[in-house]
Amino acid sequence: MDRTPRFYMALSLLAAVVTMGIKFVGYLITGSVGLFSDAAESTANLLAALIGLWAVRLAARPADEEHAYGHTKSEYFASGAEGTLILAAAVFIIVEAIPRLFHPQPLEQLNWGIVFSVAGAAINGGLALLMLQAGKRLRSVTLQADAHHLLTDVWTTVGVLVALVLVLFTGWLILDPLIALLVAANIIRVGLGILHSAGLGLLDTALPPDDLERIQEALEPFQRQGVAFHALRTRRSGSRSFASLHVLVPGDWTVQRGHALCEEIELAIDQAVPGCAAMTHLEAREDPAAWNDQGFDR
């Protein structure tokens, strides 16, 4: 079963609509600020899923004249928007919870509130686990960001549930806004994390160490044959990645032989790190000029 990122984002959209409805009804029945904050976050889910759907559709478009390196970076826009939306939801929760610290509101129909919370958390939790797996398998940062977002929703709901149950047993109404504030703090933590990784992607950060190690391993057989390498540079672009490197061979090789080797190296890198497009630059090993061109500014 090989589903596309689009399928998962559409699923996320559907789940956001359902959980948003469930939680708003729960809030209207109970008046719990915890459930309200939960519902507010689901609204953020809905927007995030719409943006994510757009991003994965754009990312799937093949490279063209105007975007010769593909469209996969669009996923960083989506995860950036996702992080921003989560932070907005957290601010919303804080604004709603603080007045209730000083003027706790009575909660009604707590049993129903608990039922609605559990239903919402079950949907989000199941979907988050599914999307986390799919996000890793499809190397989609949008799916991974959405999954982390959904997981914070589950924690939000767990917090709300704990608050509702505690209020039910103790009658301490202040627990509802207090736990809502804790939930907001957790949402801020996750939101900043998502923004951070989106920023690293937009900044053309090098591939992670384990990918770099795999590239080094792929180059080793060539090095044993006397071929040298330098100026290896890498960057990630959503589900794709790019590497460039200089290939140093004996100067008396024919152009044809050198090119054939470069093709082999590019293929080996693509096999070591799936989706990695490598570009090589052929040089004569004995030529000093070949060794003086490793700076970043050239």
Residues near Zn ion, by CB under 5 A: 246, 283, 290, 293
Least distance between Zn ion and beta carbon 245 (Å): 9
For residue 237, what are its two tokens?
A: 């672009």
Between the alpha carbon of residue 19 and those of residues 8, 75, 122, the distances in Å are 16, 24, 10
Least distance between Zn ion and beta carbon 262 (Å): 7
Least distance between Zn ion and beta carbon 179 (Å): 59
Of 133 and 216, nearer to Zn ion (C-beta) is: 216
Between the alpha carbon of residue 103 and those of residues 90, 98, 160, the distances in Å are 20, 9, 18
Of 107 and 278, nearer to Zn ion (C-beta) is: 278
Taking CB atoms, the residue at the shortest distance from Zn ion is 246
Distance CA 140, CA 133 (A): 10
For residue 64, what are its two tokens?
A: 């063209």
Of 54 and 229, nearer to Zn ion (C-beta) is: 229
Least distance between Zn ion and beta carbon 290 (Å): 5
Q: Phi and psi dihedrals of 70, rounded to 5?
A: 85, -175
CB atoms near residue 35 (< 10 Å): 33
For residue 201, what are its two tokens?
A: 């992607």
Least distance between Zn ion and beta carbon 211 (Å): 22
Of 211 and 283, nearer to Zn ion (C-beta) is: 283
Of 240 and 246, nearer to Zn ion (C-beta) is: 246
Distance CA 102, CA 176 (A): 12
Of 73 and 246, nearer to Zn ion (C-beta) is: 246
Least distance between Zn ion and beta carbon 20 (Å): 52
Distance CA 184, CA 89 (A): 8
For residue 228, what are its two tokens?
A: 């040298």
